[in-house]
């Protein structure tokens, strides 16, 4: 929010739009931060938003807190036309299979890195991620590490940029971060390095596949699944089997075999084939 306030060209505005589909705790933090700064946080449904000229920025949730997915391209263009910036709070693991915020015009993408191998820990601590356009890098909070070369000509990491903090010019500070989450950041980054792009995408598809099984089971029990368009029975919406020996897609409602994909076990964790039954049968 404050990042958008500094960079927005709509200087006369003191209102920040936050989607009602954001997580409740996110909205609470926004309100707390905005009050001493004199910023008016307007919470509403972005699908019903007609006039965006009053805002210097906006925060959208992707996917929404209730699991919905919205196409934000047209809305982002409208905010940009009003000289406002758009920040998107996005789920890292979901982004392995969804359109990245940068591709639909978002100026900032933020969120938690907990999904990358960090235990829930009753709510924390978890590292966060922050990304923005290259043109805005000098206004990013914290420090930027870049790739350089050492005296032997080998690639090396170095502190490339340090933005304004309290010890430089307090009134111009762009960061007031006083605690380090480097351990959690290292866990999340090494999780991504270990699995790689293909592995992360397989994990995301597996989660979706198991969720589709759950959705089908709940529907069969007579319960209403609100996000039923994620589990559409058409072939183009089915999740393909990741094993090369199988030809053709598996319907989203069909239970997987009794191996690690179905029983929730992860490869490499002392898996014993045939030991665990299908979760749908086990739950019954």
Instruction: Answer left, alpha or beta for residue 121, where phi above 0 means left and psi between -120 and 50 means alpha.
Output: left
Give phi and psi for 149, each to the nearest 5: -130, 145
Residues 261 and 209: beta-carbon distance below 8 Å: yes
Residues 112, 192: Cα–Cα separation, whole Å: 14
Of 265, 283, 170, nearest to 275 by C-alpha is: 265
Name residue 5's beta-bridge partners: none
* 212-232 confidence digits (pLDDT tens): 899 889 889 999 888 766 665
Per-residue pLDDT at 123: 78
Per-residue pLDDT at 219: 87
Per-residue pLDDT at 267: 40
Residues 39 and 4: beta-carbon distance below 8 Å: no
Question: What's the average model confidence in pLDDT over 49-70?
Answer: 92
Report whether CATH 3.40.640.10 matches the domain 2-137.
yes
138: its two tokens: 């000098």
* 73-88 confidence digits (pLDDT tens): 999 999 999 999 999 9
Name residue 111's beta-bridge partners: 129
- Where are the domains positioned within the chain? 2-137, 142-176, 187-283
Confidence (pTM): 0.73
Per-residue pLDDT at 109: 95
């Amino acid at each position: 929010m404050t990042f958008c306030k500094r960079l927005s060209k709509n200087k006369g505005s003191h209102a920040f739009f936050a989607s009602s589909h954001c997580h409740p705790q996110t909205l609470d933090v926004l309100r707390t931060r905005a009050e001493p700064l004199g910023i008016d946080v307007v919470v509403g449904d972005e699908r019903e938003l007609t006039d965006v000229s009053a805002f210097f920025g906006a925060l959208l949730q992707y996917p929404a807190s209730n699991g919905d997915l919205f196409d934000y391209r047209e809305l982002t263009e409208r905010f940009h036309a009003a000289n406002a910036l758009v920040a998107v709070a996005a789920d890292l693991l979901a982004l392995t299979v969804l359109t990245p915020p940068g591709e639909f015009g978002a100026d900032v993408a933020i969120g938690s890195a907990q999904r990358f191998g960090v235990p829930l820990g009753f709510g924390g601590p978890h590292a966060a991620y922050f990304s923005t356009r290259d043109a805005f890098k000098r206004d990013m909070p914290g420090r930027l590490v870049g790739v350089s070369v050492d005296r032997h000509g080998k690639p090396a990491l170095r502190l490339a940029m340090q933005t304004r903090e309290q010890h430089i010019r307090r009134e111009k500070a762009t960061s007031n971060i006083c605690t380090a989450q480097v351990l959690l950041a290292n866990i999340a980054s090494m999780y991504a390095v270990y699995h790689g792009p293909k592995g992360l995408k397989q994990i995301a598809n597996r989660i979706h596949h198991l969720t589709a099984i759950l959705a089908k089971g709940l529907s069969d029990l007579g319960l209403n699944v609100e996000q039923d368009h994620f589990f559409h029975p058409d072939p183009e919406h089915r999740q393909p089997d990741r094993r090369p020996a199988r030809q053709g897609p598996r319907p989203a409602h069909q239970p997987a075999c009794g191996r690690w994909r179905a029983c929730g076990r992860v490869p490499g964790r002392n898996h014993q084939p045939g030991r665990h039954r299908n979760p749908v049968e086990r739950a019954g």
